[in-house]
Structure formats: C-alpha cells, structure tokens
Chain A
Amino acid sequence: MSGDLRSLADVNRLIHEPSRSVILAILAVVESADFLYLLRETGLTKGNLSVHLSKLEEAGYVNIEKTYRGKIPLTLCRMTDRGLQAFNEYRKQLKQFVESTKE
C-alpha cells in the first residue's frame, strides 16, 4: 500500500466521524459559536451534539465555556490551536487519499 493510500488508515478516528467533522468544520471558520448555533447548523439533536462536543473537549480540540448573556445561559464553543492543527492534518490526509484514488 502506498504512503498516500495508507494516509486514510492513519486518519484521526476521533475526527473521522461525520458529526464531529461537521462540528469542527464550523468551528474552524469562526472565533466561537454557541450551542444553539451549532445545533441548528449541524442538524444534530441536543443529546448527540452534547456527546460529540464532550468528546472533542476531552481530546483538547474544543474549548467549552459556560457563561451568561444577560440572564440567558450561554454555552460558547471554540476550537483550540490543537484542534485546528488536528483538523487540518485530517483534511490533508483525506485530500491525499482522494488524490491517490482518482480515476
């Protein structure tokens, strides 16, 4: 197996899950977003989004801050530098794989 093909086998399994890669794709282009925004953009249920965010937080890819805007609770999510690095690496590996399997 060539190096490029093997890139998919070495891919980051935590990110290589559709819901989590969508969450990271959104967080990669913003400074921060709240839970409600992510909920609407990803189309996930609250429970699912919570679970995926917790996993990303545990891995140090996402930073979650619980705060208030006035009296309204706000859960702000932002991507960490480590998360951005891992996500970019993941995308690079996917691109390599797609390039190497072009017909």
Chain B
Amino acid sequence: MTDDLKEPQLRTLQYWTVDGVGELFVGLLFLLVAIVYYLQESTTGSLLSKVFGIVSVILVCGGAFGGRWIMQRVKERTTYPRTGYVAYKREKYSKGDVAIAVGVMTLILAFVIFTTVTDTRLTNWGPVVCGLIMGVLVIQAGYRLGQPRYYLLAFIGILIGIGLVLSGLRIEYSFPLFFGLDGLILLGSGSLKLVKYLHKTPVPSPESPDER
C-alpha cells in the first residue's frame, strides 16, 4: 500500500543527493581508477602491471560494495547534523533484477581480469562504450531521483568518450583520460553542490536539535 506514496518516497530518495557527497565519491573513484589504469598500462609486461590490475579490481569492487558505508561516514559529519538522519528501507529486488546485476558485474569483472592476465589492449572504442554505459546508468538515476542535472552529467560523459575516440589517442591514454575527465567533472559538480548545501544549511543552534 505504500507503493503509491510517491511524493514522500521521492523526497526521501532525493535527500541522499542533497549534499553532493555521492558525486564526490564517484568522481574520486573514477580519478583513482584512471591513475591506476594509466600506471597499469605504462608498466605493461611487468609484474607491477598485474599488481595494478588487481588494485583496479579491488577499487571497483570496493567502490561498488563499500561505497555506501563510506558515504554514510561522511554524511555523519556533514549532512546529518544539519538536516537530519534518515535510514532507507531496504529495496526488494526481483530475482530477475538480481540476476541481471550479478550477470553484469560478473562480465565486467571477467573482462577486467582477462585483460589484466593476458595483457590484452582494449579497442579504441573503449571510452565511447564506457561513456554510453555510464550515461545510461546516470540517466536512469536522474530519472528515478527526479534530478535533471544528472542528464547533463551523462551527456558530458558521453561527449568526453566521443571526443577522445575522435582525437585518435591510443587507448592507454584515452581510457584513463576518460575516467580522469569524467571524475573531475563529477568532483566539480559534487563540490559545488556540497559548498552550496553547507552554505544554505548551517548546523542548528547548540540547544539540543532533537529535544522532545
């Protein structure tokens, strides 16, 4: 019966994005991925390259599974003292959704491990493919959260991907550049959002904010 409580549901979901912490986290993760990928490519053929490959897998997995925990710790210092704490209901996913998510994650992991172990180079279309995949995910998030600015972020990501492919840069440069630039855009967008949020919402007066 709570399925049609659209307005409060949407407002609660939007609250997660109110401070830009999510964008900052993903932006930072992209930058790290870019640096590690570049280091991996520049040490191709050596043992160090394999180490960087493993680090990139750890980064992606850590970001996917530990991201929420890290963001919660940040929000405990920035957001909750200002505008309050809310714990979200665990979403109930259908078996189909879980199967698709596990399938996609497995494919990505297998792909990363395969390219690391065999030193396979990605084709030059890598940045466009990544831009499109991320674009779709960001657009979906923007639609779900009612955040039109996500559409702009997705569009910029796709443009960066196309621009890098058209530039003719070799994949070992264009791929980390894609993640680096996209990461910087997300960091910039998240920082602006956070500064605006901190400016607009000072911590409430010292008298207990939750007195009853």
**A residues near B, CB below 8 A?**
25-26, 28-41, 46, 50, 53-54, 64, 69-70, 72-76, 84, 88, 91-92
Contact = CB atoms under 8 A, between A and B. Distances in A.
14 contacts: A25-B5, A32-B86, A33-B86, A33-B87, A34-B85, A35-B209, A37-B84, A40-B84, A64-B212, A69-B80, A69-B85, A74-B85, A84-B2, A88-B2
Contacts, number: 80
B120 interface: no
A54 B2 contact: no
Interface in B101-143: none
Given A36-B204, A75-B212, A29 B85 contact: no
Contacts of B90: 31
Contacts of B212: 35, 50, 53-54, 64, 75
Interface of B: 1-2, 5, 8-9, 11-12, 15, 76, 80-81, 83-90, 204, 208-212
Contacts of A64: 212
Given A28-B8, A29-B89, A35 B2 contact: no
A97 B155 CA distance: 46
Given A29-B2, A40-B83, 15 more contacts: A26-B12, A28-B2, A28-B5, A28-B8, A29-B5, A29-B12, A30-B86, A31-B87, A33-B86, A35-B84, A35-B212, A36-B83, A50-B211, A53-B212, A69-B85
Contacts of B11: 41
A30 B10 CA distance: 11
Contact of A35 (B8, B89, B210): B210
Nearest to A25: B8
Nearest to B15: A37
A72 B203 CA distance: 12
Nearest to A51: B212
A38 B83 CA distance: 9
A29 B9 contact: yes
B8 A37 contact: no
A26 B2 CA distance: 10
A21 to B, nearest CB: 11
B17 to A, nearest CB: 15
Contacts of A40: 83-84
Given A28-B2, A29-B12, A69 B76 contact: yes
